[in-house]
Chain A
Amino acid sequence: MFLNNEIKNNIFTALCVLFGLAGVGFLLIIICSLIYKGILGLSPAIFTLPTAFGGLANAILGQIILVFMASVFGLFIGSFAGIYISEYSKNKAVKNGLICVIEILLSTPSIIVGVFIYAIFVSTFGSYSGIAGSLALGFIMLCVVAKTFFEALGSVDPKLKEASYALGASKRQVIMSVMMANARPALITGVILGVARIAGESAPLLFTNANNDFFSFDIFSSLPSLSVSIYEFSLSSDEALRNAAWSGALLLLIMVLGANIISKIMFLKRK
């Protein structure tokens, strides 16, 4: 061989450095091109006019309502399921089965969640609605929250649990006041990541909530939504609307990455 070990080692190191920088480079390229394209379309109209007139104000508001309703649903059911898996399932097979179910649901493509909610909810009630949209988003959130809860509660020191039982605390008190408090940073991080994840989803909304071009707070009919508005604007032939789509994408990115960075900082501080 012409290549001795030293040269091979240098090639290997150089490749790894190149790939590592490429990974960070992709992030920078995407963020920079989004800022570059998004700033062009930013105007006061974006924040004041509804999507029917080329703004995004109703979409932002509608997205907040959708994500809020979805988070309430996902947070309650998801946390209950997570606590059950970690604390109440005594049989190992049951526990493994439940974890398996959660992981299968977690990896289910979001478009399938969309058509599922369409089949059981939208086609039963006959119309797209904000409730159906938030159920679809909540379904995704639920799995993220459940996984976060059983992993975080599972990593709490058993000695802490035993000590509180020894002091005469009931199971509910141990879980709610001792274990949840102990695992709080991990729980909050997981919840923020879950919210950020559903805030950026659009595929499950296509057939459940669809979109509304005007201001609307009626959850029994279509709500306006930011991600679907971006999708519709970006396919438009109108230059101004396409620019508005880029501004919307920039706003979405700021929201999602902002939530992620906050959760990361909270987690690092705790360590």
Chain B
Amino acid sequence: MKELSFKVLIRFGAYFVVFLALLLFAVLVFKSSATFKSFGIGFIFDSVWDVNKGHFGGGAAIYATLLSTALAMIFALPVALGVGVFLTHILAKRFRAFFSICIELLAAIPSIIYGMWGFLYFVPLVGSIFGGSGVGLLASAGVLAIMILPLIACVSKDAINAVPKSVVESAYALGATRAQVLCQVVLPRAKTGILAGAILALARALGETMAVVFLMGGVLKVQPSLVEPASSIALTIALQFGEAMTNPAHESALFALAFILFVISALCSSGVRYVFK
């Protein structure tokens, strides 16, 4: 009897998770169907978002999301690789545990704290160097880069550690310098692991909300300048969802944005599994 009820419970847990995932997908599709029906696939490329006229296009939000994420990846990737190499091959052994815990703690800081900190210290810095208000894609990308740095660094640290010692030692024995060993032997071998970490970080940067609330400004238009306010998908949902609850067309357009974001992040996480295989 105990045996059977245990089995039933366990089964219930697993089915419930699948049910939740299907429900999430169904809700996003159902709620966004009205928008895709009236604007078609052109919703993705249309950058006009006018609530009063009832015209919705996701182009501006998608543009800001992709651009800020791309910039964050460009800032974070080389630094994170440097951190990974530093933690595994340069730092003396007894300091390694301490430094890696520090890097992991950086990943645990709540995003709202990154947002407040970035708004107070990072935005004025960006504004004084590049002009403009400082709030915008560049400030968001900078703080997002700090947020995803530890994710990439920890995964690439593990990937670099997994390279067999004998390979590293034989490369040194051939008289290669540390830079040659790492760049030509270790990093190419750790490539898949590093790529997986980078994709995970990508998913995190795409959907980040609370930090971006403080940093991006929330003006929904295609903004060519990096230091003027813009608005990403997650930010648009966070700022407009409250007022959209009474307007079905507006709400549906926000669900359409959420659906697009969900599809992008789902593609990212299946990308990780594909890379590891």
- Across the A-B interface, give the 10 residue pairs with the lowest CB-CB distance, nearest first: A80-B13, A109-B207, A200-B110, A19-B82, A20-B86, A12-B179, A84-B14, A9-B177, A107-B269, A203-B209
Given the interface contacts A34-B113, A84-B11, A200-B111, does A5 sit within 8 Å of B106 by beta carbon? Answer: no
1/0 per residue, CB under 8 A from A, across B145-177: the answer is: 010011001000000000000000000000001
CB distance from B43 to the nearest CB of A (A): 17
State which residues 110-126 of A face B: CB under 8 Å: 110-112, 115-116, 118-120, 123
Contact, CB under 8 Å: B85 / A16: yes
Specify the chain B residue showing the minimal Cβ separation from A103: B269
Interface residues of A (CB under 8 A from B): 5-6, 8-9, 11-13, 15-24, 26-27, 29-30, 33-34, 37, 76-81, 83-85, 87-89, 98-112, 115-116, 118-120, 123, 139, 142, 146, 170-172, 176, 193, 196-197, 199-203, 206-207, 227, 230-231, 234, 245-246, 249, 252-253, 256-257, 260-261, 264, 268
A206–B242 CA distance with the chains assembled, in angstroms: 9
A71–B149 CA distance with the chains assembled, in angstroms: 28
A31–B105 CA distance with the chains assembled, in angstroms: 11
State which residues 1-16 of B face A: CB under 8 Å: 2-3, 6-7, 9-14, 16
Chain A positions within 8 Å of B207 at CB level: 107-112
CB distance from B6 to the nearest CB of A (A): 4
Contact, CB under 8 Å: B85 / A107: no
How many of B's residues come within 8 Å of A, CB to CB? 89
1/0 per residue, CB under 8 A from A, across B94-118: the answer is: 0001010111111011111110110
State which residues 174-229 of B face A: CB under 8 Å: 177-180, 182-183, 200, 203-204, 206-210, 213-214
Which listed segment binds A: B52-60, B132-140, B255-263? Answer: B255-263
Chain B positions within 8 Å of A202 at CB level: 110-112, 210
Contact, CB under 8 Å: B17 / A231: no
Given the interface contacts A24-B103, A104-B21, does A172 sit within 8 Å of B6 by beta carbon? Answer: yes
Q: Would you mind naming 25 contact pairs between A and B with Cβ atoms under 8 Å apart?
A: A19-B86, A23-B79, A26-B149, A27-B102, A34-B113, A81-B14, A84-B13, A84-B14, A103-B269, A104-B270, A107-B207, A108-B262, A108-B265, A108-B266, A111-B209, A112-B237, A115-B237, A120-B27, A142-B20, A146-B17, A172-B7, A203-B234, A234-B116, A253-B110, A261-B105
Query: Does any Cβ of A come within 8 Å of B51's Cβ?
Result: no
Contact, CB under 8 Å: B90 / A17: yes
Known: A18-B82, A115-B237, A119-B31. 19 other contacts (CB 8 A): A9-B179, A9-B180, A11-B179, A16-B85, A30-B114, A34-B117, A77-B16, A80-B16, A81-B14, A105-B17, A106-B269, A109-B207, A111-B207, A112-B258, A139-B20, A171-B3, A171-B7, A200-B110, A202-B111
